[in-house]
Chains A and B, each alone.
Chain A
Amino acid sequence: MKTVLALVLCFMTCVSGLLAETPSVIAIRNAKVVPVSGPVLQKANVVLKNGLIEAVGENAAIPADAWIIEGEGLTVYPGLVDGLSTLGLPGFAPANPAAAAARRTGGGAAPPAATPIPTAPPVRGPEDRPQTSSWLKAADLIDASDRRIEAARAAGYTSAITFPTRGIFAGQGAVIVLAGNERAGSMVVAPSVGQYISTQPTGGFGGGFPNALFGVIAYIRQIYLDADQYQKAKAIYASDPRGMMRPPYDRALEGVIESPRILMPGRHFIEIDRNIGLAKEFKQSVVLYGGHEAYRTANLLKDGNTPILISLKWPTRAADADPDENQTMKEITIRDKAPTTPGVLAKAGVKFAFYSDGVEGRANIFRAVKKAIDNGLSFDAALKAMTMTPAEIFGVSDRMGSIEKGKIANIIVTKGDLFQDRTEVKFIFVDGIKYEPAPEEAPAGRGPGAPPSAIDNNEGNQ
């Protein structure tokens, strides 16, 4: 543990050193630029100033005070966006206590109270608001010292959509930039971009309501009925409070009402069909997550104009699976077809973005994206699903997601094309501040007995 701490401290000083050095104006000269929002520029300049993109173009003027990076032989991309994560919320990281402790040593700050769900008294029904923390805001809980931020940045991520993930109504997500070692508030790009809903029943038999999938669904339905009545009652009361009992304040409903969209699981066909239908019933705009069987649902998604976040953790057979086990055609088919999903959805014109779902490290993430490309997705579409589309889905494409004048200076500079095994990420700029990626070491908390991903167990994104 001591060594880890020492390493961390050393690392932090290095970063501070870098921060101090970064000038306010930077120009990358004569690089190949892939803006995503427009055609590729074979030889162009990108100027970053005060954390924003000041200029981009073949003849973009380079200010005299600019710190210049020779871009010959390098490629500039918009920084990657993790479409769904728990980055910056170490309390929502994997439940493995050892790993959580290892992560906490990064900053020493205690993680935010992650489990607002009381264990007693037993829940008697929907009115007790079981497994609900809809009022929690990721933006309020950001812990800049979450060591996973550094690991994600080394893989080329410069921003992430981050959500509390525990419970049925887990809370509200934020768009954050993956800057390090600064005030958490300045990392927030958009403070409330949706409500994370999980339909995984967590209570066992006798563990309180709800303990079955249809109980969870009934609860969600009741919440939206209650929210509707709550708003009506509040409006009537507000119009003239005299002579009327005030409607009781309900933080669970407040949290639900203020969320501009909901995230619901969409891992397999039935779930995608079901949750599109439920969101429509509740009159909510929905973003689905999971997506590994979405290759069957292009029409359903297209008809409802429903965006979907696709997990980069492609299904594989467990390494320790019984070799003699009779596998069902269904599971084999999903393993075979899941990586074709992005290609199928792109052709159908469905809006989709990738999320890391616990896949860590540049090599692993690039390989996962490459797998989708090998299965019918174009490079351009893959890049879009890692940059512009997540920004669009969460309503921040006016400020990030591409290399355009005026947008946040989140860019990465590589040697070689993205998503190739041998490609090096040379520089990462977050809010115009330069980071050099740490060498591809095992990220914090990984190693033998590495915990399952945050988004893989019951407590993560299912």
Chain B
Amino acid sequence: MTLRTLKQRLLITAFAAAAATNLLAEVTVIQNGTIITITKGTFKGSVVIKDGKVVEVGEKVMVPPGATIIDAGGQFVMPGIIDCHSHIAGEGNINEGSVSVSSMVDIKDIINPEDIAIYRALAGGVTSANILHGSANSIGGRTVVIKTRWGVERAKDLLFEGATPGIKFALGENPKRAGNVQQQGGGAPARPARYPATRMGVEDVIREAFNDAKAYQADWKEYNAKVAKGERVAPPRKDLKLEALVEVLENKRFVHAHCYRADEILMLIRVADDYGFKIRTFQHVLEGYKVAKEIQQHGAGASTFSDWWAYKLEAWDAIPFNAAIMQKKGVLVSLNSDDAELMRRLNTEAAKVVKYGGVSENEALAMVTYNPAKQLGVENRVGSIEPGKDADIVIYDKHPLSNYAKVQKVLIDGKVYFERDKDMSGRSLKDAEKKKLLDKEKADQERQRNEQKKNAPTRRPANAE
């Protein structure tokens, strides 16, 4: 070995070692900010992040050598917002509305990390979201929790790993198909409306589905027992629709139930009690204030709107004090968007709850951070700034409950996914890049036309059609 190659080798080893230590201990410190931890108070201080996790939060922290410093002087540092009801990041229709029970379909199958709504939500401080099936079915599709890791290529990298999957239920007007005759093309006779057509029918669909699920569960138990005894039996059919409901019965899948009116909320509680499953969250739950006690007794959470009402008849009795009243009655309350646009400013939704109902600032912010984390069963990972939790953090220039607050930076797993400065300064570059591609395309077309003209056989144009 010559001296030179030895030197090269040493250099390479040194580089590799440096890279390895960097990977092993990637430390970021957010300094000098107002830290709103949600669970452990608000103070001026710093957050130390190591390997994607918060390791230290306090007024004075040790800054390890080589740490990346984010100066949050004069700024507000808060846990990333969690939206308990969103429909972004899905490819295609998010309603399998053809059937009354669509629990065989799974949002996980159509997660699209390229949906621009993810970036917009991220830029509004959202770091996690519950992605739900639509509300066209009494029992809808399976749901997943994602992190808004904009820029990852593969759908699987968007999923909140380890989060319990859910299922969408829907009560009231949306799953009904009264008088909605299904027209068919080609002169074929119209089909009758899909069942159910009434609120009574909605309850019936859910009960029937769980009857089926229980029978299915029993079939498999019986089969497994027979096989254990060494009997020769053909296996029952695996039914994706009923599998999901068995998971609900076995408490392995959370029920997120779209609802508005008090009567339908009570109905679902009765059904759940009859069949022995739990409703994890009531979604929208606009008349929740009327039946808060019953919701609390069932142990369900409530994920509601701040002050949206009267946009349809069943939303007539909604009041902006809903969240505050339910909270006072001991219900775990969160505020959701149900909308890609509203999703970008859930912090101001929280502010409305301070105005209507006098909820404390910290409790209001908890309704878009810690509370939805608990509702989704991920509060040990996200929802507050505490040592040991994922470093999903949003930095605002003003207090997050202010209308004027703008998100400056968003970190997920300790990695910066959004930076306002970078976004702004990068825009002209992106425009230039786009123009370059369009110009290139135009030039290519021009060149091709000329070439084809030149090469065309003289007797007739080559591409005359």
Contacts and interface: CB of A to CB of B under 8 A. Distances in A.
B99 interface: yes
Nearest to B92: A213
A221 B244 CA distance: 14
A332 B437 contact: yes
Interface string A405-438: 0000000000000000110000000000000000
B452 interface: yes
Interface in B203-247: 232-241
Contact of B191 (A120, A273, A333, A336): A120
A296 B152 CA distance: 13
Interface stretch (B42-50, B182-190, B385-393): B182-190
Interface string B5-16: 000000000000
Contacts of A218: 96, 104-106, 109, 240
A452 B212 CA distance: 46
Contacts of B153: 269, 273, 296
A83 B300 CA distance: 55
B420 interface: no
The 4 closest A-B pairs by CB, nearest first: A213-B92, A212-B93, A233-B234, A421-B455
Contacts of A447: 465
Contacts of B440: 336
Interface stretch (B110-118, B280-288, B290-298): B110-118
B234 A332 contact: no
A243 B465 CA distance: 68
B355 interface: no
B110 A214 contact: yes
Which of B97, B109, B235, B462 has the most chain A CB atoms closer than 10 A to its own CB? B109
B91 interface: yes
23 contacts: A120-B189, A122-B194, A126-B240, A126-B241, A201-B93, A206-B194, A207-B98, A210-B98, A211-B96, A213-B92, A213-B110, A214-B109, A215-B98, A218-B105, A269-B153, A270-B112, A270-B155, A274-B109, A274-B155, A329-B433, A336-B440, A442-B464, A447-B465
Given A236-B234, A330-B114, A446 B109 contact: no
A58 interface: no
Nearest to A245: B234
B165 to A, nearest CB: 14
A212 B95 CA distance: 7
Nearest to B445: A316
B465 A336 contact: no
B94 interface: yes
A364 interface: yes
B107 interface: yes
Contact of B93 (A206, A213, A232): A213
B234 A237 contact: yes
A450 B451 contact: no
Contacts of A222: 104, 239-240
A279 interface: no
Interface residues of A, number: 65
Nearest to A215: B96
Contacts of B383: none
Interface residues of B, number: 61
B441 interface: yes
B457 interface: yes
Contacts of B110: 213-214, 217
A335 interface: yes
Given A209-B99, A332-B438, A214 B463 contact: no
Contact of B113 (A270, A335, A363): A270
Given A222-B240, A273-B154, A329-B433, A201 B441 contact: no
B137 to A, nearest CB: 11
A363 B240 contact: no
Interface in B383-442: 430, 433-434, 437-438, 440-441
B174 interface: no
Nearest to A226: B237
A206 B96 contact: no
A249 interface: no
B380 interface: no
B154 A122 contact: no
B102 interface: yes
Interface in A209-244: 209-215, 217-219, 221-222, 225-226, 228-229, 232-233, 236-237, 239-240, 244
B451 A209 contact: no
Contacts of B79: none
Interface in A303-357: 317, 327, 329-330, 332-333, 335-336
B39 interface: no
Contacts of A205: 93, 95, 97-98
A273 B441 contact: no
A247 interface: yes
B101 to A, nearest CB: 8
A320 to B, nearest CB: 15
Interface string B170-199: 000000010010111010110100100000
